[in-house]
Structure 1
Amino acid sequence: MVDFDVQTFIVFLVFMLSLGICHADRNLYSGLQCSQADNSSESSFGVNLDNLLDLLTQKGPLSKGFLKTTVGRSSGKIYGLMQCRGDVSAENCANCTRESVAVALHDCSKSKKVQVWFTWCFLRYSNEHFFGVWDQSSAAIVNETDFDDASVVSKALTFMSEVAITAPKQPLMFHAALLDAGQFGKRYGMAQCTRDISTTDCSHCLDTQLMTFRTTIGNKRGWEVYGSSCSMWYHDYQFYSNFSITANDGARRLSLQGVATGIIMAVLVFIFVP
């Protein structure tokens, strides 16, 4: 786990008022983590960082939405990683990565350890090696006023546990699934790990997130957990598009094409676990 001397963690989840206007899946700025500003950075760091971010932006979206690489040597070496959500197109992946880079350079211009989360992608770079290391840092975002029906709660936790079990076994360590809650509608779940960690660490990462935030997310209709090595999403609306998933009973397939939804504004709580 990367140790930050001074760190900021900012999480935003934009809830739009439902005024009869529906919103398709949107790429929202979800979080930022920066190390303490380092004004003593040598000039080579800035040059290497620019080269690194160019590589991640240009090649990552064309490499199945994932790339880890390094630039520089010895003390000037920088490690970088980008990854897009498994259902996102190469074009949207590229746009999201560019947005992440812009945020990093604007808000963390003097930092040597940076992580940026958007709904569709994740960007991370550091002057310390982190490839293949499971980082347990995570933040949960929940709607504190939107409780689910008691009969759905136990099903939802079991459902997301199954999503967490399945994701590490997939080629991209990404899995999305649908839960049919009968008269209470449908629930949609997704889990993904960064592809630099092992499948074993991916399993541990997702399981740890569910256990850590169980009391926080357990009775909510919607929540998201963003982490340095894995992330999970759960909602009562279709929050992704242009992607086919298998229903939890395996009996049918759902094709999500240009899905739209409206969300009521409510109080949000986020919890950060280092």
Structure 2
Amino acid sequence: MVIGADPLYHLCYNDSGNFTRYSPYDQSLNKLLGDLYYKTPSNGFGMGSVGQYQAQTFGLSMCRGDVSSKDCMDCVVNASAEIRKRCPNNKAATIWYDECQLKYSNTDFFGQIDNRVKLYMWNLNNVSDPTSFNLATKNLLSNLSVTAYTDPKLMYAAGDTELKGSQKIYGLVQCTRDLSPDECKICLESAISELPSCCDGKQGGRVISGSCNIRYEIYPFTSVS
């Protein structure tokens, strides 16, 4: 994790209301972000709630399944600082990096699939045989999804599959661990179903939401690929 690296995306939710500096909500949010900093690096995921009534805030942070504890900590620290800069008065916000994501809200969102925003990214280069490539990609990500949602302790899987010749496709799927296995399954299947509309025949692509994300490339992009 490069300190100061730009996030993939961030979103400040204007419909959740605002707060002022040094207010009870501000104090709750600061404590929550500190708690997530301590909770997340040990196993790659942290969640919690701080405060009461109008000052209560809920949040979670998640690191990519292959990221080391140190890089996870660095990413969460960076995400916490950056989201406060970019959404200084919003009671709800989400920020995504390559190696982690962080979100908080003044309403309890735990266990709910968050599709308020979806981020689509793709490689500009096309493959030579999109039909067989798309099918292989879908099969890889679908198989990885089964591995992920049947392991509630991780809800993460990465792997690869061989194409004709020596080429491979590398894939990754992950859900936030506040979801149940069934919710993770629904989230990942929904993301995979959107690949044809964003990434048809592309050499790489991602679909990222508030609750899960998928990615594939023709090159290794995780530490265990």
Helix, strand or coil for the counterpart of 2:203? coil
Higher strand fraction (1 or 2): 1
Residue-by-residue CA offset, 1:190-214 (whole Å, 9 max, x unaligned): 0000000100010000101111332
Helix, strand or coil for the counterpart of 2:165? helix
Match of 1:155? 136
1:77 aligned to 2:56? yes
1: distance between equivalents of 2:26 and 2:18? Answer: 12
Helix, strand or coil for the counterpart of 1:182? coil
Residue-by-residue CA offset, 1:195-243 (whole Å, 9 max, x unaligned): 00100010000101111332322311101111111001111111111x2
2: distance between equivalents of 1:35 and 1:102? Answer: 17
1: distance between equivalents of 2:140 and 2:6? Answer: 25
Contiguous gaps of at least 5 residues in structure 2: none
Match of 1:225? 207
Q: TM-score, normalised by structure 2?
A: 0.89
1: distance between equivalents of 2:52 and 2:178? Answer: 21
Deviation of residue 152 (structure 1)?
2.3
Pick aligned residue for 2:186 from 182, 204, 208: 204
Match of 1:118? 97
Contact 1:181/1:187 (CA < 8 Å) preserved in 2? yes
1:97 aligned to 2:76? yes
Deviation of residue 40 (structure 1)?
5.6
Deviation of residue 105 (structure 1)?
0.8
Residue-by-residue CA offset, 1:6-27 (whole Å, 9 max, x unaligned): xxxxxxxxxxxxxxxxxxxxx7
Identity of aligned residues (%): 30
Helix, strand or coil for the counterpart of 2:147? helix
Contact 1:28/1:119 (CA < 8 Å) preserved in 2? no
Helix, strand or coil for the counterpart of 1:101? helix
Equivalent position amino acid for 2:160 in 1: L
Pick aligned residue for 1:134 from 113, 120, 137: 113
Between the two structures, name the one with larger relative contact order (CA 8 Å, sep ≥ 6). Answer: 1
Q: TM-score, normalised by structure 1?
A: 0.74
Contiguous gaps of at least 5 residues in structure 1: 1-26, 244-255, 257-274
Match of 1:22? none
Equivalent position amino acid for 1:166 in 2: T
The count of corresponding residues between Structure 1 and Structure 2 is: 215
Helix, strand or coil for the counterpart of 1:67? strand
Deviation of residue 166 (structure 1)?
2.3
Pick aligned residue for 1:189 from 143, 162, 171: 171
Match of 1:43? 23
1:146 aligned to 2:128? no
